[in-house]
Structure 1
């Protein structure tokens, strides 16, 4: 048996939240508590950009019925389970896979359904952008379809794996609790605007560069090699040889395809692994740093602070505090 809810049920805490013409507002709350354990964070900048994050699960299968009230561009980042989606207006269905991002347009009057399975963990980030803003973007970026030329009520212009830079920014937004009040608001807005900028300025290999399908495969192989060798990574020369791609194409392609350098990705994944160790194990900061390949504790602490907005020792203290208060 399934339960059908509407976007008005879901956004009862702020019914006009995803109207890009609504006033500035930020907050978070548990929603639909009678149906599951669901946390919702939101931020409407008041300047044509609104953000919402969803994290949790439903106790029963849920069909979330949405009816859009205005035309807008959207960015959707899926950090949880596969979401099954149907555009009722266009009679089209598709799946949004984990760690993927989608960019497109919503026409006024779109009716859609999201299918949420029982007890599965769903986690997503949505950004909607006003018609006026996205039309200005289309004049300055590689955005192919301004809103007025959309062929469907729900139009997808890009669907791909999340870029490394997008993952970092989303993670920073999720860790906004390290700030309070207006400082938190300023922090979230700066990261949100950077995320929008990063996404709309994303270059495409098939448009800007002369990369073949074999080059694509080689770059993904290089990424896999790097992530499987966080502690003792190969040099650029060795990596180039292992994936059969010259160093120039390796460096340039990595930056374009993944939004970061080879070593930028390496360090980010080292930090993510270290954060996981500090949050879920009794390792010291120095042990965690060494475990992921950092020889310098000061270098590790500085890099961790730049990535997560908090020093690793502070993270350890917070974990200890929450652990003790739960006894």
Structure 2
């Protein structure tokens, strides 16, 4: 079988998952009531314009699907768990590991593979060209367009503000409080952030993922980042994402990715627009925000879960980032 559209692709996958649709007030939950261990997929949608999906499911059997999609859309989100293997026409086989991502699909063609027992957990927003043509461009003509990005290329980094928006939407979903008007407001906010990022400078968080250029080390020294260096930096990013609560030292990380410490630090800051320490701290704070919003754990328990040995240090850092203590943040939710 060859799927001809992204909606057909999704329907095929949900069928293979043995999921049935159950309508809720603002969303549709896809699940198999007789096999709850398979998890579920939750979909919020303004039909034909955009979707917001949250997946937390386990693949029941091996399957694959070829696709030849004519529709144009932008997809971005965060994958917390699960490795996806796919092949885009005229490109080598690729795999996508847990990370944030952004892709503009234009006539995409290829094949994707799923394996029994694989567990996937993530969330993504899909915005179709129809929404840009009928809603965004008529009202905001200076917004981003599809030509601002390389088509069918997966950018493996999103600005932290976008990641935070996706986390906010998930928190509201967990509380059964995500409404259509709030979802659309956040989609527009995400587009505004991406637009500002693209137009802020020719060297932004998207172009820098392709045009690697030089990085400055010290006061006067510049070095060129090779493809090998970028791969090492991205591997370091993956390690830090996975081990944010107990991150390796710069020295240990340097050895693990086979890149010297100076180039690793400078390259990471250039590639991801923040230092290694800032990145691990942002992950910790995002985890803490989620735990404060969705659990009854004490502040001390949350502090330990996100890697702080001393609760006081956690409270101090959380207040620095959010402008309020963890307890005040929880009370405001």
* Alignment partners' CA distance in 2, 1:267 and 1:123: 22
**Distance change (3 Å), C-alpha of 1:266 and 1:51:** same
In the alignment, structure 1 residue 114 sits paired with structure 2 residue 120: no
SS at match of 2:121: strand
In the alignment, structure 1 residue 188 sits paired with structure 2 residue 183: yes
* Alignment partners' CA distance in 1, 2:240 and 2:189: 29
Structure 1 residues 250-305: Cα deviation after superposition (integer angstroms, max 9, x where no partner): 8xx73x63255666535423325546888999973145447626637487379579
Correspondence for 1:265 among 279, 294, 307: 279
- Matched with 1:38 is 39
In the alignment, structure 1 residue 97 sits paired with structure 2 residue 97: yes
* Alignment partners' CA distance in 2, 1:284 and 1:83: 36
How many equivalent pairs are there?
A: 280
Summarize the alignment of residues 39-118 of structure 1 with structure 2, pairs less than 5 Å apart: 39-45=40-46, 48-64=49-65, 68=69, 70-75=71-76, 77-86=78-87, 93-107=93-107, 113-118=111-116
Summarize the alignment of residues 1-327 of structure 1 with structure 2, pairs less than 5 Å apart: 7-9=10-12, 10=14, 13=21, 26-31=26-31, 37-45=38-46, 48-64=49-65, 68=69, 70-75=71-76, 77-86=78-87, 93-107=93-107, 113-131=111-129, 133=132, 141=144, 144=147, 155-177=151-173, 179-181=175-177, 184-199=179-194, 201=197, 203=204, 204-205=207-208, 210-211=214-215, 212-213=224-225, 243-244=261-262, 254=269, 257-260=271-274, 264-272=278-286, 274=288, 284-286=298-300, 288-289=302-303, 292=308, 295=312, 297=315, 300=318, 311-312=329-330
**Distance change (3 Å), C-alpha of 1:266 and 1:99:** closer
Structure 1 residues 32-77: Cα deviation after superposition (integer angstroms, max 9, x where no partner): 5677613222222468332223221022223356564633343364
* Alignment partners' CA distance in 1, 2:330 and 2:126: 33
Q: Is the 8 A contact 1:173 1:192 kept in 2?
A: no
| TM-score normalised by structure 1 residue count | 0.58
* Alignment partners' CA distance in 2, 1:43 and 1:277: 23
* Alignment partners' CA distance in 2, 1:73 and 1:174: 19
**Distance change (3 Å), C-alpha of 1:106 and 1:216:** closer
Unaligned runs of 5+ in 2: 199-203, 216-223, 251-259
Q: Is the 8 A contact 1:28 1:39 kept in 2?
A: no
* Alignment partners' CA distance in 2, 1:198 and 1:295: 33
**Distance change (3 Å), C-alpha of 1:306 and 1:158:** farther
Q: Is the 8 A contact 1:285 1:313 kept in 2?
A: no
Greater alpha carbon shift after TM alignment, 70-79 vs 113-122: 70-79
* Alignment partners' CA distance in 1, 2:233 and 2:282: 18
Q: Is the 8 A contact 1:49 1:130 kept in 2?
A: yes
**Distance change (3 Å), C-alpha of 1:156 and 1:76:** farther
| TM-score normalised by structure 2 residue count | 0.57
SS at match of 2:71: coil
Unaligned runs of 5+ in 1: 15-24, 235-241, 316-327
